[in-house]
């Protein structure tokens, strides 16, 4: 019998998107696919390697398509470099 993974109690300071990212990472750690452990690796593996559609991925993860869109937006936003206001000449 496989033991159920211990799910952490929600953190009052944790935002909704962060909570979803953590829960998805936790499920993939319990059921590895070979696509990585971080949320970004998991998301990119599902979309770019497995070629799963956004609609199918939202169904697989049990979230709405609009929530998946927020997760993707959040992931892409984190990839942007930090601003460097004084390194560029105008």
Encode pLDDT of 41-51 as tens digits: 999 999 999 99
Among the listed residues 15, 66, 77, 11, the one whose alpha carbon sits nearest the alpha carbon of residue 40: 77
CA dihedral 33, 50, 16, 23 (to 10 degrees): -10
Question: 68-90, pLDDT tens digit by residue?
Answer: 999 999 999 999 988 888 876 76
pLDDT at 51: 97
Q: How many CA atoms lie within 13 A of 40 on its CB side?
A: 7
Which of the pair, 54 or 90, is modelled with greater confidence? 54
């Amino acid at each position: 019998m496989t033991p159920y993974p211990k799910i952490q109690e929600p953190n009052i300071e944790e935002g909704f998107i962060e909570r979803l990212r953590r829960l998805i990472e936790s499920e993939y750690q319990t059921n590895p696919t070979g696509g990585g452990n971080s949320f970004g690796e998991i998301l990119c593996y599902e979309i770019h390697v497995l070629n799963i559609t956004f609609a199918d991925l939202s169904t697989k993860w049990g979230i709405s398509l609009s929530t998946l869109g927020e997760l993707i937006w959040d992931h892409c936003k984190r990839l942007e470099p930090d601003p460097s206001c004084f390194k560029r000449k105008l």
